[in-house]
Each structure stands twice: as structure tokens, then as C-alpha cells.
């Protein structure tokens, strides 16, 4: 590695646990501690935690904040109530995805200003910041980048809420899915968001670095499994959640990526709306599907997808699913081949391997 990587405030905790580290989005991050499969199962069956302090974290404040953000996203932010979060994307003029993000609407200051947080991908933090500052009314909007200043820990799994609850007076059960709230943890200020990237229930907790280190150790002592980016990838892939830079990028539109549910064409003008309207009328050239491999071969990023020896698409993500015990993948194919049950092949080291289109997500947790 030639470029020097940034480290999160939990770097020494990762070293202490003998984590295997790798560069990711400009940060030195843990890939695994004990092993990807064991960490994966901990999150599905019990509780695991991830250091996600590398993610971009912006604090925004201003008059009509949501109105100012509306042209940048295809989702309607106007209906959000204080304490509600919304998954969305920034789009370019061609409706290509600049990044995916979660906007957390907080509410109003005494002076009537709206406040909110934006959490974006690590590798795109600089690009997103520039895009926001270019498009928001700079003299009106307060913009603070706390990406390097705050710790973000995701606690995920069926036992996540119970484990975390013992450390905070905030009643976590009253914070519903995709809601968030400020409170305290271990006696220090904290922010709780019931969001995640694993397909399990859980929270993402933002605290200052000292509290973050204390919280990490406390959770470790409570038996929470530390999990790296390896398990984060297998978990999100089973849940068929897109990874920016791999499944989605600035050449892919939300409709193609299966993110049509976050597009609201009636909400008023926004960047990329023309392309999306055209796609809605004329149809798509490609769309993201789930593939299940018939054998144990793993289809990986950029492998060609074929039908009768003709390339019809390509794989964007693939892994061996620890929960299903099968190799799974996400791939772009023409809509005519996107129906579940369609038999395709993935070219793996120059040999076609059988794959079947299946419904996404690959895994869905049983709702209580």
C-alpha cells in the first residue's frame, strides 16, 4: 500500500483483537477477526458489532433544509417527520447514482431551522461533500463534516436491542425501524439510529471517540462478536442490499438497480428526473437480479453472465452465502431474462456454470 490509510478511533481495538486489516475507501479497516463465516452467523443468530466510523457523516442545519435537498434525491423528503430516516441516492443528470445514503431528519431548532444528518459511503465522502456544497445554498446551510471526528458502531442481530438496552436509559424499543433519536450511553451523549446493513434488527450508534472506545470494550465484554467488513459484505449480500462502487455506480439508475421504490416522480423537479421518466416509459436495458449458483463455484464481480454461450450481462457481487449454504450473486441482465426461475450461466474461469435467477432478497429475517 503506497498511500497512507486513515484509521478510525477504534484502530487499536482492532489491532488488539488481531484483526486482519485492509484498505477500504481510504481507510484501514478490519476484514475479519475470528473468521467471516463465524462472524456472519453471530449476527444472524445472536449479536455482532461493526466499526463503521469510516462512513461519511455530515451534520446539516438551515431554513427549509429538506426543500433544499429535494432536487438532489429522487425521494420525497417533505413527508418525513422529526426522528424519521430515509434511504435514498444522489443522482447525476443522467440519473446515474452518485452515492447511496441515509438522510436522518432530526427536526427544528428554536429559531425554526431544520436539522438532519446524512450518512454516506466512505469512498465517496469527498465527492458527496463537494456535490452538496455545490448545490445547497451555501450561505444558508450550516454544513459540518464529522466523518473523522465521530465513532459509529453498528450493533446488529436478534440480541442487539437487549444487549444495547442495558447500557442506556433511552428506551430503544420505542425507536422503530428507520427512526432515530439522541440519548445517552454509558453516561455520555449518543445518537441511536435503528438502521443497518445486515438484514437484521439493530442500531447504529454515534458517539465521540473516547465513548466509542469505551462502548466497543463494554460490548466486547458483554459477549458481542466483533465483525469485519468481510461479514458485513456477506450479510448485506444475503439481504440483497447494494454496495456502492460494485452493484451501483454513476452509470446505473435506481430503476435498473431495483431501487424504484425510493423514486417519487410526482414530488417535483429533481436532478435525473428526465432519464427516470424516459426509462419508466420506454423500459430498461438491464436490471439487477439475484442469482443462485447450482454448484459451489462463486460468481464474482465482473464475471460474464451468459445464455447459450452469448454474454447477456455481468455479475456485480457474489459470495458463498453462509446462511443458505449456497453461492449467490447479484448481476445485471436484460429484463427479458430477469424472471425468477430463468436458467442462465456464469462464466467462471472460462467455463459456464449454471445459475438460476431467484427472487431478492436471498435472506429475510422472520418478523416478530
Partner 1 sequence: MSFEYPEDLKYLDSHEYVRLENDVATVGITAFAIDQLGDIVFVELPEVGDDLAQGETMGNIESVKAVEDIYAPVSGTVLECNNAIVDAPEQLAADPYGEGWLIKIKMSTLAALDRAMSAPEYRAKVEGE
Residues that bind partner 1 (CB under 8 A): 18, 31-32, 35-37, 230, 233-234, 296-298, 300, 319-320, 322, 327, 349
Is the CB of 215 or the CB of 298 nearer to partner 1?
298
For the bound state, the minimum distance from the C-beta of residue 31 to partner 1, rounded and expressed in Å, comes to 7
Residue 6 exposed, middle or buried by CB count within 10 Å (0-12, 13-18, 19+): middle
Rounded to an integer, what distance in angstroms lies between the CA atom of residue 160 and that of residue 50? Answer: 12
Q: State which residue, 54 or 297, has the beta carbon closest to partner 1.
A: 297
Judged on CB neighbours under 10 Å (0-12, 13-18, 19+), 14 is buried
* CA–CA separation, 281 and 274 (whole Å): 11
Q: Which is nearer to partner 1, 306 or 327 (CB)?
A: 327
Backbone angles phi, psi at 43, to 5 degrees: -70, -40
Contact 103, 120 (CB under 8 A): no
Contacts 24+ apart (CB under 8 A), 33-36: 33/225, 33/226, 33/227, 33/228, 34/225, 36/228, 36/230, 36/231, 36/234, 36/322
- Here the cell at position 33 is 477477526
Minimum distance, C-beta of residue 91 to partner 1, in the bound complex (Å) = 31
Instruction: Give the shortest CB-242-to-partner 1 separation in angstroms.
Output: 19
CB of 296 to partner 1, least distance (A): 4
**DSSP assignment string, 9-58:** TTHHHHHHTTPEEEEETTEEEEEESS-HHHHHHHHHHS-EEEE-TTSEEE
Instruction: Identify how many contiguous H helices and E strands the chain contains and give both numbers.
Output: 8, 19
Nearer to partner 1, 267 or 300 (CB): 300
Q: Which of 6, 156, 4, 128 is nearest to 69 (CA)?
A: 128
CB 97 → partner 1: shortest distance, Å?
25
Q: Is the peptide bond before 347 cis (omega within 30 degrees of 0)?
A: no
CB 126 → partner 1: shortest distance, Å? 27
Task: Supply the minimum distance, in Å, between the C-beta of residue 36 and partner 1.
Answer: 5
Least separation in angstroms between CB 71 and partner 1: 39
Q: Of the two residues 176 and 296, which places its CB atom closer to partner 1 in the complex? A: 296
The nearer residue to partner 1, 157 or 230, going by C-beta atoms, is 230
CB of 35: closest distance to partner 1 in angstroms? 5
The three grid cell numbers given for residue 82, joined into one nine-digit string = 422529526
Nearer to partner 1, 25 or 254 (CB): 25
Measured from the CB of residue 182, what is the shortest distance to partner 1 in angstroms? 37
Question: Could you give the CA distance from residue 330 to residue 291 in angstroms, rounded to a whole number?
Answer: 6
CA nearest neighbour of 360 among 332, 340, 346, 333 = 340
Distance CA 52, CA 151 (A): 8
168/319 with CB nearer partner 1 = 319
Strand, helix or coil for residue 83: coil
Nearer to partner 1, 1 or 366 (CB): 1
Q: What distance in Å separates the CA atoms of residue 219 and residue 161, rounded to the nearest whole number?
A: 12
CB-nearer residue toward partner 1: 168 or 234: 234
Amino acid at each position: 500500500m503506497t498511500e497512507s490509510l486513515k484509521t478510525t478511533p477504534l484502530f487499536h481495538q482492532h489491532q488488539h483483537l488481531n484483526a486482519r486489516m485492509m484498505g477500504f475507501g481510504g481507510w484501514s479497516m478490519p476484514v475479519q477477526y475470528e473468521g467471516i463465516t463465524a462472524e456472519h452467523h453471530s449476527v444472524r443468530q445472536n449479536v455482532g458489532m461493526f466499526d463503521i466510523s469510516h462512513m461519511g457523516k455530515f451534520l446539516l442545519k438551515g431554513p427549509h433544509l429538506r426543500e433544499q435537498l429535494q432536487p438532489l434525491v429522487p425521494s420525497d423528503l417533505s413527508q418525513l417527520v422529526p426522528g424519521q430516516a430515509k434511504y435514498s441516492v444522489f443522482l447525476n443528470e443522467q440519473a446515474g447514482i452518485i452515492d447511496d445514503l441515509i438522510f436522518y431528519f432530526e427536526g427544528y431548532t428554536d429559531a425554526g431551522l431544520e436539522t438532519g444528518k446524512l450518512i454516506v459511503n466512505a469512498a465517496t465522502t469527498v465527492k458527496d461533500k463537494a456535490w452538496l456544497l455545490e448545490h445547497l445554498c451555501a450561505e444558508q446551510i450550516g454544513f459540518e463534516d464529522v466523518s473523522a471526528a465521530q465513532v459509529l458502531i453498528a450493533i446488529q442481530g436478534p440480541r442487539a436491542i437487549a444487549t444495547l438496552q442495558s447500557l442506556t436509559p433511552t428506551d430503544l424499543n420505542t425507536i422503530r425501524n428507520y427512526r432515530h433519536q439522541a440519548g445517552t450511553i454509558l453516561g455520555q451523549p449518543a445518537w441511536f439510529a435503528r438502521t443497518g446493513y445486515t438484514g437484521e434488527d439493530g442500531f447504529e450508534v454515534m458517539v465521540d471517540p473516547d465513548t466509542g472506545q469505551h462502548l466497543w470494550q463494554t460490548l466486547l465484554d458483554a459477549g458481542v462478536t466483533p465483525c469485519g467488513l468481510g461479514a458485513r459484505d456477506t450479510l448485506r449480500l444475503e439481504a440483497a442490499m447494494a454496495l456502492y462502487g460494485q452493484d451501483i455506480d454513476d452509470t446505473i439508475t435506481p430503476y435498473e438497480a431495483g431501487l424504484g421504490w425510493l423514486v417519487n416522480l410526482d414530488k417535483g423537479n429533481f436532478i435525473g428526473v428526465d432519464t427516470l421518466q424516459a426509462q419508466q416509459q420506454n423500459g430498461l436495458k438491464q436490471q439487477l437480479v439475484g442469482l443462485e449458483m447450482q454448484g459451489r463455484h462463486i460468481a464474482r464481480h465482473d464475471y460474464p453472465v451468459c445464455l447459450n454461450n452469448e454474454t447477456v450481462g455481468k455479475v456485480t457481487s457474489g459470495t458463498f452465502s453462509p446462511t443458505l449454504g449456497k453461492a449467490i450473486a447479484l448481476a445485471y441482465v436484460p429484463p427479458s431474462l430477469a424472471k425468477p426461475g430463468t436458467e442462465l450461466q456464469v462464466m467462471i474461469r472460462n467455463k459456464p456454470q449454471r445459475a438460476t435467477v431467484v427472487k431478492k432478497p436471498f435472506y429475510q429475517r422472520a418478523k416478530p
